[in-house]
Structure 1
Amino acid sequence: MLLRYFYNDKLAQASYFVGCQATGEAIVLDPARDVEPYLCTAEEQGMRIVAATETHIHADFISGARELAERTGAALLLSDEGGADWQYRYLDGYRHVLLRDQATFYVGNLRFEVMYSPGHTPEHVSFLLTDTAGADRPMGIFTGDFVFVGDVGRPDLLEKAAAQAGTAETGARQMFRSLARFKQLPDYLQLWPGHGAGSACGKALGAVPSSTVGYEKLFNWALQYEDEASFVAALLDGQPEPPRYFAMMKRLNKLGPKVLCGKPHVQHRPIQELTRLLNSGARVVDTRPAEAFAAAHVPGTINIPYGNSFVNWAGWLIDYNDPFYLIAERHLVEQMAADLSQIGLDDLAGYFDPPPVDTWSDAGLPMQSYQMATPRQIAQQILGDEVYVVDVRNQTEWDEDRLSAADHIMLGYLEDHAATLPHDKPVVVHCRTGVRSAIGASLLQAKGIPGVINMVGGLRDWMADGLPVEQGL
């Protein structure tokens, strides 16, 4: 048996290539939209991808199952649980098998048994894997978004991200019952989850890629509860804000994502078009580091620096219904486009080079900047109520500690509230370290807020400098 683990750091998402070396057949579990790594692995190992499966209809990335079916002819093995509202809608024309609890299927000598595990979503299933060439009992379980290392899947996404009222508590109660069944599994089983630390599909995911059922029984907080009501309250408490794009992902993965058949090509645009596009209301994202953007940028552009959080904040801040543009280094554009396509942001209509500022000026583009200040540099103004302070961290962070002078508007909702912010005093934006607040400063400036200041180093450096904070309840 061959088992290969693939991990996307930008989405904190894991997928698995499992092959039978005796027959040369392979399956991919929870594939990402970029299927090239799986195709390359199959070629390297002399294997054929004969099937693709997923543990549930994903909300945080575009599934690559349909892409694999198109590229390889793989059969789609997908959940038939959860009721009529949770059925896949694109399967006509593809070889497929719908799976229910305790169903089994084979890939060569590898036996997979379906374990219905609702809670995170109504249709969620897990897969117990047995290598029948040498064993008659399973060696591990692919848990998807059911059980993570140190956490379990959140049950509130349908209610918070997809506006399905009442589903959070129902999901939490389903999760309690699913975990009771999980506790009956043998301790020796390896556990292969669908996400790691940084995913918004839970609140306390570990950074370790795998675990065992026995270890999670001992140390996973969610497996320590015997009382259902207490478990439900604990599971629903403190979950992070779900990104806005989650509702779109759920819809696209259910109806069937567009097939790419290769990496997207992005058209280069002349800098002279930039003003016209901005005047028409187009979203233009400058991907340069925050320091470079703060020093000089074109008014109306926003800044999402290219890094591990780029995809997440792009999903929050780019409208799926409209084309958008990037300002980006040419050698990075194709990778950026590929990253964005992982969450279905396919309408990238072009990119602009980030030339020297004087070149922009020569092209007739007005330039703008905003101030960056450390906590020590801005503390007197904050404590003296000379500035308006907005904290763009998550709700759970705000609940722990905060500046007494600050108002809280989580970054993903900041644009919606820009009109309520004052224009008669400088606006200081802060987060924990200064990364999210840099994005926030660009959003406010693009909305016409004057005197924007990004507090670099954020609350972390504020506290390190011994400056006062207000503790949460």
Structure 2
Amino acid sequence: MLLEKIKTPGLSHLSYLIASGGKAAVIDPRRDCEIYVEKARAQGMEITHIFETHRNEDLVTGSPILAEMTGAKVYHGPNAAGEVAFAETARDGEKFDIGQLTIEALETPGHTDDHLAFVIHDNGYSDGPVGVFTGDALFVGDVGRTDFYPERKREVAGMLYDSLQKLLALGDQAIIYPAHGAGSVCGSGMAEREFSTIGHERRNNPRLRIDGRGAFIDAKIAEHHYQPPYFRLMERLNLEGANAAPRILRPRRLDLGTLRKDQSDHVIDIRDPMAYASGHFPGSMCLPVGMISAFAGWFIHEDQSIRLVASDEDQLSQAMSHLVRIGLDNVVGGYTGVVPAAANGVTMKSIPMISTGTVKERLDQNASDWTLLDVRDAGERAAASIEGSKHIYVGELNERWQELGKQHHYTVMCASGMRASVAAGWLASRGFEKLDIYLGSMGAWKSAHG
């Protein structure tokens, strides 16, 4: 037997390969799905089933591609917002044999209407299920968000509560295998570890410790979550099936002349934020390679073209992986060589980094032509903020930058300076020039002021 977790960096997406008796199933495959075939074949297993816990909002499914590669059938839950073109419908109680294992579908709506969990039974040990693939209903330390149906918010929160009771009824011995880990946009309170049981979550998960259905509903509708624009793209592609992406390669190499002449919609500098701040091509935005999954979908639309600027070829390859997984395939090419370009006389832009002392001085001066712009999320802002600062979440600057004056001076801050660099880079790409970044941001402020 085999049960292996495959983690997708950036998205904190967890998919699984489970196998027995020469047969294998994949749960929630990502778009670049050769990895599942390679792992199954290495174990002498044939992939015969593909299970989707729900229509994902944060990544493109690999199910139709994997089905074409293997001949396996794809199973998806009922009540999807449209027909899932590449899948058959699995319903509550339906069972699938994988060698000595039986996988049982369990309808668990709430996060989405079509949500399924898949319960693992070992037929050689019949006293309770071994585990359950919980999708986005139950995480380690948290439960799924319920904000995708705002007009039905109390109803769907109640549905999730009822679904969680079904999961808890599987027994404390059952191991849980969620679809996401800490860092995912699908939940804010997940534990750093990615292993747990129903029993441990029953005792320790804050959302499962809420007393009663009504209180649970109240708690869920009081949550605040952001919905990047690319969620709508993911939802559509995960109904239709995205174009195949069987192997991710680095983008076509661009020379300096082509880079500067090309008229792509976005030039994305994926280098370290300090490198970007020190010197970058005019008009380029800052999106470090490790932050592409979290923020590219806020600023880049499906039909827009992209040029990448990187430190090396490895960064370009990583960036392509992240972009393809969220359906942003239109990458014209990639360039490495910012420092040589500068040495050859190419004009570069820079964004200064400033310290806590400078921020404090400016706040004390209360100048009308300067604003401290806090781009953290609403929860962070509510927990602690600097008096006199203005708040716009970094992702929402995709449109709200138009509320800001290009002749005004902004110092951008977040928790450490990383998201502030993304925000400042976006503003710079929109033509803002009076910008600087608070290095250390809220962390530095707390260290200095307690």
Alignment TM class, shorter chain as reference: over 0.9
List runs of 5+ in structure 2 lacking aligned partners: none
Superimposed CA distance per residue, residues 372-429 of structure 1 (whole angstroms, 9 cap, x where no aligned partner): 0121233201232232111000011111111111110000011422233234542100
Q: Measure the CA separation in 2 of the matches of 1:182 and 1:26.
A: 24
Does the Cα contact within 8 Å between 1:86 and 1:123 map onto a contact in 2? no
Q: Which residue of 1 aligns with 2:417?
A: 434
**Pairing partner for 1:305 from 280, 288, 292:** 288
**Pairing partner for 1:419 from 402, 418, 425:** 402
**Pairing partner for 1:376 from 324, 342, 357:** 357
> What is the one-letter code of the residue matched to 1:246?
F
**Pairing partner for 2:106 from 106, 115, 121:** 115
**Pairing partner for 2:309 from 327, 352, 355:** 327
Q: Which residue of 2 aligns with 1:98?
A: 89
- Shift of the alpha carbon at 1:348? 1.0
Q: Measure the CA separation in 2 of the matches of 1:138 and 1:86.
A: 32
Q: Which residue of 2 aligns with 1:152?
A: 143
Q: Measure the CA separation in 2 of the matches of 1:171 and 1:354.
A: 51
> What is the one-letter code of the residue matched to 1:11?
L
Superimposed CA distance per residue, residues 158-215 of structure 1 (whole angstroms, 9 cap, x where no aligned partner): 24xxxxx413332212112212323322111111111111111112111211211111
- Shift of the alpha carbon at 1:440? 0.9
Superimposed CA distance per residue, residues 332-387 of structure 1 (whole angstroms, 9 cap, x where no aligned partner): 32232122111111111111223325x2463x743211110121233201232232
Judged with a 3 Å threshold, the aligned counterparts in structure 2 of structure 1 residues 425 and 322 are, in CA distance, closer, same or farther, namely: closer
Does the Cα contact within 8 Å between 2:289 and 2:315 map onto a contact in 1? no
Q: Measure the CA separation in 1 of the matches of 2:55 and 2:72.
A: 18
Alignment TM-score, normalising by the size of structure 1? 0.90
**Pairing partner for 1:452 from 411, 435, 438:** 435
The 5 A counterparts of 1:221-260 are: 221-260=206-245
Farther-moved stretch of structure 1 (182-191 vs 137-146): 182-191
Does the Cα contact within 8 Å between 2:230 and 2:301 map onto a contact in 1? no
C-alpha RMSD of matched pairs (Å)? 1.8
Q: Measure the CA separation in 2 of the matches of 1:383 and 1:132.
A: 70
Does the Cα contact within 8 Å between 2:407 and 2:432 map onto a contact in 1? no
Q: Measure the CA separation in 1 of the matches of 2:193 and 2:217.
A: 26
Does the Cα contact within 8 Å between 2:373 and 2:389 map onto a contact in 1? yes
Does the Cα contact within 8 Å between 1:376 and 1:462 map onto a contact in 2? no
Q: Secondary structure at the match of 1:405?
A: coil
Does the Cα contact within 8 Å between 1:142 and 1:193 map onto a contact in 2? yes
Matched, 1:199 2:184: yes
Q: Which residue of 1 aligns with 2:43?
A: 45
Q: Which residue of 1 aligns with 2:62?
A: 64
- Shift of the alpha carbon at 1:290? 1.1
Judged with a 3 Å threshold, the aligned counterparts in structure 2 of structure 1 residues 90 and 76 are, in CA distance, closer, same or farther, namely: closer
The 5 A counterparts of 1:239-318 are: 239-264=224-249, 266-277=251-262, 280=263, 282-307=265-290, 309-318=291-300
Aligned residues with identical type, % of pairs: 30
Superimposed CA distance per residue, residues 140-167 of structure 1 (whole angstroms, 9 cap, x where no aligned partner): 11101011111111011x24xxxxx413
Q: Measure the CA separation in 1 of the matches of 2:111 and 2:400.
A: 31
Q: Measure the CA separation in 1 of the matches of 2:74 and 2:351.
A: 51
- Shift of the alpha carbon at 1:3? 0.7
Q: Which residue of 2 aligns with 1:4?
A: 4
**Pairing partner for 2:157 from 167, 172, 177:** 172
Q: Secondary structure at the match of 2:338?
A: coil
- Shift of the alpha carbon at 1:121? 0.2
Does the Cα contact within 8 Å between 1:61 and 1:249 map onto a contact in 2? yes
> What is the one-letter code of the residue matched to 2:298?
W
List runs of 5+ in structure 1 lacking aligned partners: 92-96, 160-164, 468-473
